[in-house]
Structure formats: structure tokens, C-alpha cells
Structure 1
Amino acid sequence: MRITIIQGPFLPVPALRGGAVEKACFALGQEWARRGHAVTHVSRRFPGLPDSEEIAGVQHLRVASRDAPSGALAFRLAEARYGLRALRVLPPADVLLMNSVVLPLLVRDRRRGLPVYRVGRPPKGQFRLYPRLGWPVAVSRAVAAAIEREAPAFAGRVAAIGGPVTPAFHPLAADELGERPPRLLYVGRLHPEKGLHLLIEAFARLAESAPQWQLAIVGPHEVAAGGGGTAYLERLRRLAAPLGARVEFVGPLYDEAQLRARYREASLFCYPSLAERGEGLSVAPMEAMAMGTVPLLSGLDCFDDYLEPGVSGFRFDHRAADPVAALAAALAPLLGGAVDLAPLRRRVLEVAAGFTVEACAERYLAVFERALAAADRRQG
């Protein structure tokens, strides 16, 4: 089949500036091309990347855009301008996979492909406006349920697929696990909704009882990269100051080999997200699991898709009256050695195997085929 992917407007493809969605769609497109499908991938124009090129069988087209502006209205206007430019270069296709809030409102030409909406976060009203011929693909069961609650007309057409982790994070074999140093890791945007301040405060409370442990924080703080800005970074640095060199602010790592090494150097991964309305199914915990690193996550419903407490990781109640205390209580037995992590490391590898590019690409294709068959029945 002919598949067109339209990426969001603010990050380049390949993912030179990071971006879990950009990395995932880049890998999915190549997997579909490997299976014999004709794939076109539209993304933003970026210095050093040609406006048109072929990579691993995928035709890449790039149109003018810019970095994400601050402010919700400016953000959506920039997204709309980019979407109108992108529409001009779309080839005829069977399926049009969109990763955008605004673009589904602009697409009206069925010849560009049957719309498939990739939904990475809980919806905020947009599905009441989207054309009903589209097919939503959610990254988690929680997001899929939220779509059906918001727009019951889509019930029965919403799929939950998840992931994927890119080939650079293909799950390790069990015999590759080896010993791990006492290191706790976070990877993601440095934004208040990610709960980094809770993690540093909880780690500080346990500092004396777990003196061998270190904390590494990887990710961007800049607003243009989705971070909370310099003020939030300085807040985190102040919280970490009493711990000295035991807390390392690494900054963003866009090189996948370097990021893979960070995961493999950690025993535990903590993702204390507070984003009740903004978290769909973060890829970072899945990448950690693929590298055999045991996750400790917040209580968001989206994490139910891949974490069974005590079996494939741990949870803490981020909604507690004192979330720092709740996180410290969950961390204490893990840092103190009261829990044997070895069986969990083997289990997380098994879970991650269900979120490889190959597995997720197959699930997407099943949705595409089902959607096209339904469209043919309507036309018939």
C-alpha cells in the first residue's frame, strides 16, 4: 500500500534534535518500506537536510517550519501554517498517518490517503471536530478510552498500539544484562509536569541511608525543546546542591548510542510524571526496560500497558497528599537492597519485546487494512 506520514512541525526527521515521536515514525516508515510498501515521510525543513531525499526506501519531503513558539495560540498557528505547506506536497496515497492536532482539520482530499490520527496524549476536545472517516491510533489503552469518551462516534475504530522503541534500543538478551552500578536514571524533558523536583527531593531524603547511589538526569530544559526553561533548571539545581556530585545534570543526548549506554549503566529508571492530561505512553521507560533497567513510574493510567507492579517494575502514588514522601517510600527498599532486581530485569526484557518496531509496525498495518476495507464497504 501507499503510506504517507506527516510529522509535527517543530522537530526534524531524522531526529537530530531528539523527539520520541520523530524517532518512532522514522523507524516505522523504514520497516513498512522494508516490507514492500511505498512510504513518503513529510517533516520540517532543517539546516543540513535536503528538501527531498530517500533514506532506506522512504521518500522524505521537507517543508518550511520553525522551532516551537511559546504560548498555546502561537503554537497552534505555527502548526496550521506548516500543515498548509505540507498539504501542497502530499502525493496520492492509501493511508495518511498524521501526528498533529491541527492537520486533521485541514485535510479534505481523500486522494491523499485515508486519515489515520496518531494520538500520543489524551485529547482536549479536538476529536469532536475531526472528520468521522478518520481512524484514531492511540499510544495506550488509557488514551484510546479518552478518545471514545470525548467522541463516541469513533467508538469501535480506536486502536491502542503503543511504542515503538527504535532499533537502537532493541531489547537485550538476558545474558547481556551483567552487573549494574548503583545509579538511578531519568530521561525526558526537564519540565515541571515530569515531576523532576519530586525525584530530587525524594532522593535527597534517602541520601544518608543509600550513600552509594547516584542520580543522573538526562534531557533538555529549553522551552523550544519542550522543557520548563532556565528557571526550572535552576530550581532543580538548587534542590540537588546539597548532594553535590551525586546528582548529575547531563543535558540532552540525541545520539542514540550515548543514550543506550546511559540506560545500560543504570540499575533503576524513575519517571515521576505528573501529566494527567499530557502523558500518553512515554517511550523513555520502554527504552529503559529494553536495556534491562527496572522502572519506577508514577500512578498514571497510561503506564498500565506495560508495567505490572512488583513484576515488571514499581509504581508510586503521585496523587498522594505528600508525593515526595510517597516516592521516597517506593524508592527506599530499592536503593536499600531489600528487593532483588534480577528477576525483574529479565521480565522487563520480555515486556519490551512487545514494543519493537517490527511488532508495532505489524499492528499499524492491521489497522490500515481494516480501515481501508471499511472505506471500500462504504463506497460499495
Structure 2
Amino acid sequence: MSAKGHEVIFYSKKDSCYNLNGSIQIIKIRGYKRTKSVYGDILKDFVFTLKSLFKLSSCDILVQNTFWAPILSPLVGWKYKKTVYNVARMPKGQFHFYKAVNQFSCVSNAVKEALEKEIGSNPKIVIVCNPLNLKYFKYSRKRIDSDSVIITYHGRIHKEKGLDLLCCAAQNLSQDNKIHLILIGPYETGKGGSGIEYVNILKRLCPDVEISFPGGISDPQALNEELSKCDIYCYPSIADQGETFGVSPLEAMGAGRPVIVSGLACFTDFIEDGKNGLVFNHHADNAVEQLTEQIKKLIDNPKLRYELGEAAYRRAQEFSVESITEQYIRNFEILLADNHG
């Protein structure tokens, strides 16, 4: 937004890391490490939010994302004109207390529907999806020289990601194909994974498959390089309440890869089954068989892989940083023009 001439100020913890344009001001505030207690974290969030509001400069729009901000911000109501709460996670009952918020900006239709179940249908609720930085995620046909079918996933190596389904499907396909499964992401529990034992379980599920765990890749350009090497990308998450948008498969689409995802509602914002990706029902009793069939469909049909990859790439362009920025600005302008909002 700063590129559009708007003043942008971030209030963040001192240990937060940002690589932002120099025109964006960052006000760093001493934060606190998370505890093992939800109530302890909520108490610490209360203190952090108060400190942030105390340092808040006068502004037109106050964008909030902490637990206490919507409740405490009226205490400094003279410092802003309107408030927007960024709903990036599934609601857990707290939004009944956020009466003073002027707009709820949800990252997907799935989050919007969950919020409406909690507070009812409300004109305050809008959707602005997460962006894809097309500076890094670019179309590429850089496939590595291999006689294997390369299937890639990236994200946390966690049970809720449905990777056991993918490993079982890969094992089914290994009878007729040489499969190389690449699971990019951290498996350590301290980094959000399910631990080394889960990695060993996945290996045992596909003994005839070449399987690699290269770890997490934080550099987006390096990640695009890895995604560009695969024949098929698969994100089989079963986290109905955990996935809010699904930026990982969108990144693979930005690299022009044919994508297979589970039937989570969050993926419907950018994936249409059979048009720019493939979907399987992760709730079905035969979920493994369905996933196996979808992967087989792409293995057996190189033309379909190419066409879905092309369509995926075109769809990903609609989520550019510039496009999402315009949506935010348009929503802010409408909000400021509404004297009753």
C-alpha cells in the first residue's frame, strides 16, 4: 500500500522479522514468548495489546489481529476512524465480543462461512484472500532429469496434512510406476511437525517408493525452484478446522504445476476440480483409492498435466500482491465513506 502513496505503520514484537519496503514504518514493541497455557497467552496478549494501543499514532484505518485489540481499542477511539479485523484463522467463539469492529476481513470463503455461523450474516464481513508474490513464484518447466514420477508436497510434516493418504496412494502406484515422493517441510515438533516417529511411519507406508524429506525451505525463490521440478503437486490436508486459505497449493499453481488437493472448503477460492486442478474427498471411506486414481490420471496423461498446469498458472495470477492490495484499498475507501459503518 505504501507504493500507492499510503502511509503504513506496523506495530510488532521486537523479535519479529520483516523484509519490508523502506517506506513502511515499523514500531517494535517488547513481546512475550508463548506459554503452555492458553490463559497465560491471553493474559500476555492483553499486556502487549495495551502497550501497542498506547503507542498507536493517529490513523484512518486500524487493522487488528490480536485477541484483545477489538475489545480494548475503543479506549483510544480518538486515534482512528475505522477498525478492520483480519480474520486469518477459524473463529473459536471470541467474535461475539467484537461488537466495535467496523469490518471483518476474511482470508477465504471458508473462514467467512465459519464466522457467519458464529455471529450471523453481517454486511461487515468481506473476503480478501491472501496474496501470492509473483516476483518469486513463476511458471517454469525446469524438470530434473529422472525416470521417476516426481510428486511434491510442501508444508508442515504433520498428521493433519493427510500425508499418510499420499504415502499409501504412492505405494499403490509404485506397482506400475517408479515414484519419487518429495515432502518439503519441518517434521520437528518444535517447528509444528509431528516428530521423527511420524516420518518413520510415512516411510513404512510406502516401502517401494523413493521418499525424501529435504526439510523446510524458507526462501521463496528456492521453493519455486523445487516446486518447478515436480510432475505433480499434492496437498492432501485433512485439517477441516486448521486450513483457512491454503497458500501452499497456490504457490505450486504459481509455478505452473498440476495440483491435487483434498476437498477442504478453503481450496474452492482458487481451485475448480477438472479445470485448474483435481480434488479428492478426504472424508470418504475410500479416500486413498480416490487420491490414487487422481494421481494415476495425471501420470497416464501428460497432456492433461500440461493443461492443468497452464490453467493453474493463469488462476494464480489473479492473486498477485497488486491485485489483493487493490481489494484492501477499495474496501478501506468504502468503509471510510460510510458514516454509519
Whether these two folds match at TM > 0.5 is yes
Asked if 1:144 corresponds to 2:108, the answer is: no
Report the Cα distance in structure 2 between the residues aligned to 1:103 and 1:356, rounded to whole angstroms. Answer: 29
2:111–2:244: 8 Å Cα contact kept in structure 1? yes
Name the CA shift for 1:251/1:76 in 2 (closer, same or farther; >3 Å). farther
For the aligned residue pairs, the C-alpha RMSD in angstroms reads: 2.6
Deviation sequence 1:106-152 (CA, Å, 0-9, x none): 32223443221111233121211112433111111221122122112
Name the CA shift for 1:71/1:206 in 2 (closer, same or farther; >3 Å). farther
The residue aligned with 2:221 is: 257
Report the Cα distance in structure 1 between the residues aligned to 2:143 and 2:198, rounded to whole angstroms. Answer: 34
User: Of residues 70, 88, 101 in structure 2, which corresponds to 1:133?
Assistant: 101
The residue aligned with 1:277 is: 241
Report the Cα distance in structure 2 between the residues aligned to 1:75 and 1:179, rounded to whole angstroms. Answer: 45
The residue aligned with 1:16 is: none
Identical pairs, percent = 29
Report the Cα distance in structure 2 between the residues aligned to 1:276 and 1:54, rounded to whole angstroms. Answer: 32
User: Of residues 210, 222, 226 in structure 1, which corresponds to 2:192?
Assistant: 226
2:142–2:228: 8 Å Cα contact kept in structure 1? no
User: Of residues 36, 55, 66 in structure 1, which corresponds to 2:5?
Assistant: 36
Letter in 1 for 2:59: A
User: Of residues 174, 180, 186 in structure 1, which corresponds to 2:153?
Assistant: 186
Deviation at 1:102, TM superposition (A): 4.1
User: Of residues 29, 50, 58 in structure 2, which corresponds to 1:84?
Assistant: 50
Structure 1 runs, 4 residues or longer, greater than 6 Å off? none
The residue aligned with 2:263 is: 299
Secondary structure, aligned partner of 2:332: helix
Secondary structure, aligned partner of 1:169: coil
Deviation sequence 1:13-41 (CA, Å, 0-9, x none): xxxxxxxxxxxxxxxxxxx0111000011
Name the CA shift for 1:336/1:99 in 2 (closer, same or farther; >3 Å). farther
Asked if 1:355 corresponds to 2:319, the answer is: yes
Deviation at 1:297, TM superposition (A): 0.5
The residue aligned with 1:365 is: 329
Name the CA shift for 1:64/1:313 in 2 (closer, same or farther; >3 Å). same
Name the CA shift for 1:203/1:59 in 2 (closer, same or farther; >3 Å). same
Secondary structure, aligned partner of 1:137: strand
Give matches, 1:106-185, under 5 Å.
Answer: 106-108=72-74, 109-113=76-80, 114-152=82-120, 155-172=122-139, 176-177=140-141, 182-185=149-152
The residue aligned with 2:251 is: 287
The residue aligned with 1:12 is: none
Letter in 2 for 1:269: Y
Name the CA shift for 1:232/1:318 in 2 (closer, same or farther; >3 Å). same
| TM-score, normalised relative to structure 1 | 0.80
Deviation sequence 1:46-101 (CA, Å, 0-9, x none): 28x69xx9743101122233554445444444444433333333222111222334
Where in structure 2 are there 5+ consecutive unaligned residues? none
1:171–1:353: 8 Å Cα contact kept in structure 2? no
The residue aligned with 2:272 is: 308
Deviation at 1:326, TM superposition (A): 2.4
Letter in 2 for 1:100: T
The residue aligned with 1:207 is: 174
2:240–2:264: 8 Å Cα contact kept in structure 1? yes
Secondary structure, aligned partner of 1:319: coil
The residue aligned with 1:323 is: 287
Name the CA shift for 1:341/1:235 in 2 (closer, same or farther; >3 Å). same
1:120–1:279: 8 Å Cα contact kept in structure 2? no
2:152–2:182: 8 Å Cα contact kept in structure 1? yes
Name the CA shift for 1:157/1:216 in 2 (closer, same or farther; >3 Å). same
Deviation at 1:356, TM superposition (A): 0.4
Report the Cα distance in structure 1 between the residues aligned to 2:35 and 2:154, rounded to whole angstroms. Answer: 23
Report the Cα distance in structure 1 between the residues aligned to 2:195 and 2:45, rounded to whole angstroms. Answer: 21
**Aligned length in residues:** 336
| TM-score, normalised relative to structure 2 | 0.89
Report the Cα distance in structure 2 between the residues aligned to 1:332 and 1:354, rounded to whole angstroms. Answer: 29
Letter in 1 for 2:320: T
Report the Cα distance in structure 2 between the residues aligned to 1:107 and 1:243, rounded to whole angstroms. Answer: 57
Asked if 1:268 corresponds to 2:236, the answer is: no
Letter in 2 for 1:250: P
Deviation at 1:167, TM superposition (A): 4.1
Name the CA shift for 1:358/1:198 in 2 (closer, same or farther; >3 Å). same
User: Of residues 343, 356, 368 in structure 1, which corresponds to 2:307?
Assistant: 343
Report the Cα distance in structure 2 between the residues aligned to 1:334 and 1:360, rounded to whole angstroms. Answer: 31
Report the Cα distance in structure 2 between the residues aligned to 1:256 and 1:54, rounded to whole angstroms. Answer: 15
Report the Cα distance in structure 2 between the residues aligned to 1:253 and 1:54, rounded to whole angstroms. Answer: 20
